[in-house]
């Protein structure tokens, strides 16, 4: 045989490194096609996406658009309830963020966030009650007794308005009934459970 051609075989270590590199590249690039969600976007993020092909002058180009909402069979009451529930979750998240800022001694930032939530939902006594409480806590840490007193007065007024709110009327009535049951049990038990 006239000249044997030498074939170079890559060592096992090089192949394993190349395989690890390709695996890492696939894992890192796997999230590139996902769409980032933003809290301020108006498009529904829970809607399924269906591919649609549109033809333009240069050929076909696949595009996606939101398919019909999965909740199309829901009643208007259910849709309204879900919207109110989502709004309540957003408010609660903002107030939790303000509470964390309060714990972290970022009093000015917490106060701005609480006052913004209170202005956005000025007609809701439940939101006003919670924001007034947080404002009172913030002003207490700021050692501003006058503003703390004003916040506590707003808290008490919103609690009175909350008693007439139909969303909480049943809870208020249940609480009053529970008080009556406790009074009756204390009266019948006598000194056994009393002070």
Structural domain that includes position 149: 76-165
Q: How many CA atoms lie within 13 A of 34 on its CB side?
A: 9
Residue 42 lies in a domain: no
Into how many domains does the chain fold? 1
- pLDDT tens, position by position, 67-103: 445 556 788 888 888 998 999 999 999 999 999 999 9
pLDDT of residue 8 exceeding 60, the answer is: no
CATH number at residue 121: 1.25.40
pLDDT at position 136, please? 94
Does any domain span residue 58? no
| Percent of the chain topping pLDDT 90 | 33
Report the pLDDT value the prediction gives residue 100, as an integer from 0 to 100: 93
Asked if the structure places residue 50 within a domain, the reply is no
Q: Considering the domain boundaries, does residue 87 fall inside one?
A: yes
Arithmetic mean of pLDDT, 155-183 = 84
Residue 3's Cβ-count burial label (10 Å; 0-12, 13-18, 19+) is: exposed
**What is the structure's pLDDT at 13?**
65
Q: How far apart are CA 26 and CA 10, in angstroms?
A: 23
């Amino acid at each position: 045989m006239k000249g044997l051609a030498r074939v170079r075989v890559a060592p096992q270590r090089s192949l394993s490194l190349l395989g690890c590199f390709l695996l890492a590249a696939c894992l890192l690039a796997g999230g590139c096609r996902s769409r980032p969600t933003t809290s301020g976007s108006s498009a529904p993020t829970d809607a399924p996406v269906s591919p649609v092909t549109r033809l333009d002058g240069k050929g076909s180009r696949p595009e996606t658009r939101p398919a019909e909402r999965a909740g199309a069979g829901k009643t208007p009451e259910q849709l309204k309830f879900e919207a109110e529930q989502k709004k309540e979750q957003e408010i609660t998240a903002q107030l939790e963020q303000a509470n964390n800022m309060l714990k972290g001694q970022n009093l000015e930032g917490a106060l701005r966030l609480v006052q913004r939530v209170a202005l956005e939902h000025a007609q809701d006594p439940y939101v006003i009650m919670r924001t007034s409480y947080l404002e009172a806590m913030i002003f207490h840490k700021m050692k501003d007794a006058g503003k703390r007193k004003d916040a506590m007065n707003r808290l008490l007024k919103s609690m009175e308005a909350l008693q007439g709110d139909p969303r909480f009327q049943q809870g208020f009535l249940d609480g009053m009934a529970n008080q009556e049951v406790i009074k009756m049990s204390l009266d019948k038990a006598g000194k056994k459970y009393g002070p």
